[in-house]
Structure 1
């Protein structure tokens, strides 16, 4: 059976306005998008179709599915009704035309890029640790380079050199620096909507202009955009969005997942993307799928690499989506309150939060983010360096020390622990300092979060008299 033959597209992301009296808003789409109650059972919730495969009506029907003339479900590695509901809902929330779910956010990064490149190509990327993870995950055919002020190469992964694709890392948010890193073999610009963990922000519209001037797409990891509720990159000219759905979309730390969303607006007919415009086993994606050519190619690559989502995981993510806007507002409120409290604390060395007027990205955040909301991510450092930072983390009782963000529970971690992996110079380029603490504020009562911090400060600086600031 041919995998390309049973490719299932399910491009139904455009909201059917006739279902309602008006075009639904975000808060309504997060509940109703991608689903019409089943005509047989009338089930209100999206059912979990926990099955590996689906029956064909007859031999002729199977042939139509194999030839991609019928988008019927065939095999869950390609698509599944539960997964399709999640994909369509995400595409609707972000304003795209199609989406493809993956087994993890890392899988989404890999497939989003792999669909565009071949040996000898490169992409231009912002410099951030999460993309380093992507490089390690696809090291069988990627040879990364840093493109910094002196265009020096500092990292090589030379496995399978004959399949080499290079990554030109840019250490600046300046659009001109990205433009300077592009050459005739560049196939995309890749950025995070916010650097992780640096929280650096990028002017999406300016970078989209740079990309389009070079006839390449702008790919934005919008994980920190909270499912499109805080930031919608397509509104600023981005072409492809990816998410680690593990984070705010799921919101409860219960499952791993990723998603790739196609804007459907990029013109692939520049001669730079033969995988989309040339025949592949009798199929030309741009002709067969039109504006959804990229999404179709991504689905094929997702199926080939086995990086598919499972139905129960999709169900859990759908449950998370239903409260996404409410959680985003609480994350933002708690983030702002805690950041203001930390700024006043005598034992805090510095605080980075986009909602603070003193933050270097405050004005850009106001431009990109939903009015009055700045998310729940707070970076800070306490006085006394690494020893005090470790003691502080170890003294917390409510806040969890673990490697995740976007959870309903407040989480903290120390990015400086990765310095030994990246090296001090590369860590500095990504904005990581030894004393940095990364905080993902949760949904608990803000007074309880602050009480946990107060207690940890008292233990950490037990030899000093610590006077905690009042709560605003």
Structure 2
């Protein structure tokens, strides 16, 4: 992990100037030696760069690096985590397919499934990922993808990915895993059955709150040639591009990613700027060190919060009573990341008082920053969901999401204690009124 995070995808000796870190290629287009060379690029008979909307040398290094970290066969870097999820699901399920989705997903993903993806004629069945019977019953003949989070946002629920994947694969349905909270430093979904992995690289891969980016990784498990009629867009000659994308698998590549890049990255214009790719590459160099420290501090703070006056519940996989505790021990030996939630007695009033009293924790909707962040999901990240949808993913009026950063643990705890005191006072005032 440490070695690949620093070296994968880049060879300083092969660079004309010996640059130790990948240069930022800001060109929008790339000169070709001949008409035939440019024609070959557009006909997909040669590898290279023609126009940066489809990729550039800096983003290519990032794609190779995340491929190595996830031990996949290829990757695409895009403009955001939301773009990564959108492109992955569109490439698999649009138009007119069906998706089985975990009820414990980030609010923006749930909104996308419920609204925008439906505009493409894609239907969705949402189920509790801990209910294997419900998960199995949700699949239909039209199902083209299943999606879960390796560590759910904001309640840090873990999934039994091997069990969920086995059910999906019996029906030849690929499994998409959003592994943003885990990152490859803590968990490689491909080792547990995932076919496609998506990341909001904005979070832990970047690590410093500077850059928006997303990544899609093909783990190599999905092969549309096993069900050619189901994946005819990949297994038959494409009218627009004049190629059969599934042929890439015979050459060790990913036909799914080739199709996604040619059609959706190009048409949606979800290009990742080279400067953003370079920022993510820098962040990845320290990923494993940061995730170890953050995971340890999050578990320690969650343990201290458990049972404190005014705290109705702490959602962290290491705490007593969690049905996924065995998964934390089995699948996450290096920790379960730095995001978890607490539920405060007193509802939104207590949550507001808690957040406003904090001085070290910053009120913001990002996660995975070097800074510790806090927000109230019911009025921010999950505010556009229905009450039932929020309840299904564990977001209630008193829920507060915490994202542990790299500050000193005792400083963070002192600030949390001040917040709890304010929450209790705010709750008492509201109750009295």
Give TM-score scaled by structure 1 length. 0.84
Q: Partners in 1 of 2:244 and 2:274 — Cα distance?
A: 29
Aligned residue in 1 for 2:58:
82
List, as ranges, runs of 4+ consecutive aligned residues in structure 1 with deviation greater than 6 Å.
none
Deviations 1:237-290 (A, max 9, x none): 111000010110011111111000001222212021111101113200111453
What SS does the corresponding residue of 1:238 show, helix, strand or coil? coil
Aligned counterparts, 1:17-32, within 5 A:
26-32=1-7
User: 1:360, CA displacement in angstroms?
Assistant: 2.4
Aligned residue in 2 for 1:287:
247
Instruction: Decide whether the 8 Å contact of 1:400 with 1:411 is kept in 2.
Output: yes
What SS does the corresponding residue of 1:421 show, helix, strand or coil? coil
For the structure 1 residues 463 and 210, does the alpha-carbon distance in structure 2 shift closer, same or farther, using more than 3 Å as the test? closer
Q: Partners in 1 of 2:308 and 2:283 — Cα distance?
A: 34
Aligned residue in 1 for 2:130:
173
Aligned residue in 2 for 1:448:
411
> Residue 113 in 1 paired to residue 89 in 2?
yes
User: 1:464, CA displacement in angstroms?
Assistant: 11
What SS does the corresponding residue of 1:54 show, helix, strand or coil? coil
> Residue 273 in 1 paired to residue 231 in 2?
yes
Aligned residue in 1 for 2:30:
54
Equivalent in 205, 214, 226 of residue 249 of structure 1:
205
* Mean CA deviation greater in 89-98 or 378-387: 378-387
Aligned residue in 1 for 2:431:
none
Instruction: Decide whether the 8 Å contact of 1:116 with 1:275 is kept in 2.
Output: no
For the structure 1 residues 135 and 451, does the alpha-carbon distance in structure 2 shift closer, same or farther, using more than 3 Å as the test? same
User: 1:172, CA displacement in angstroms?
Assistant: 4.2
Q: How many residue pairs are counted as aligned between the two chains? A: 417
Aligned residue in 2 for 1:397:
359
The CA RMSD over aligned residues, in Å, is 1.9
* Mean CA deviation greater in 377-386 or 107-116: 377-386
Aligned residue in 2 for 1:101:
77
User: 1:75, CA displacement in angstroms?
Assistant: 1.1
User: 1:119, CA displacement in angstroms?
Assistant: 3.1
Instruction: Decide whether the 8 Å contact of 1:411 with 1:441 is kept in 2.
Output: yes
Q: Partners in 2 of 1:132 and 1:464 — Cα distance?
A: 31
> Residue 376 in 1 paired to residue 376 in 2?
no
Aligned residue in 2 for 1:10:
none
Instruction: Decide whether the 8 Å contact of 2:234 with 2:256 is kept in 1.
Output: yes
Instruction: Decide whether the 8 Å contact of 2:100 with 2:138 is kept in 1.
Output: yes
* Mean CA deviation greater in 376-385 or 72-81: 376-385
Which of the two has greater helix per residue?
A: 2
Q: Partners in 1 of 2:149 and 2:427 — Cα distance?
A: 40
Equivalent in 337, 348, 351 of residue 311 of structure 2:
348
> Residue 457 in 1 paired to residue 416 in 2?
no
Equivalent in 316, 338, 355 of residue 279 of structure 2:
316
User: 1:337, CA displacement in angstroms?
Assistant: 1.6
Unaligned 5+ segments in structure 2 are: 429-433
* Mean CA deviation greater in 104-113 or 260-269: 260-269
Instruction: Decide whether the 8 Å contact of 1:188 with 1:217 is kept in 2.
Output: yes
Equivalent in 130, 135, 140 of residue 108 of structure 2:
130
What SS does the corresponding residue of 2:94 show, helix, strand or coil? coil
What SS does the corresponding residue of 1:224 show, helix, strand or coil? coil
Unaligned 5+ segments in structure 1 are: 1-25, 144-158, 466-472
Q: Higher relative contact order by CA 8 Å / sep ≥ 6: 1 or 2?
A: 2
Q: Partners in 2 of 1:120 and 1:386 — Cα distance?
A: 39
Q: Partners in 2 of 1:135 and 1:251 — Cα distance?
A: 27
> Residue 423 in 1 paired to residue 386 in 2?
yes
Instruction: Decide whether the 8 Å contact of 1:335 with 1:376 is kept in 2.
Output: yes
Give TM-score scaled by structure 2 length. 0.92
Q: Partners in 1 of 2:426 and 2:161 — Cα distance?
A: 47
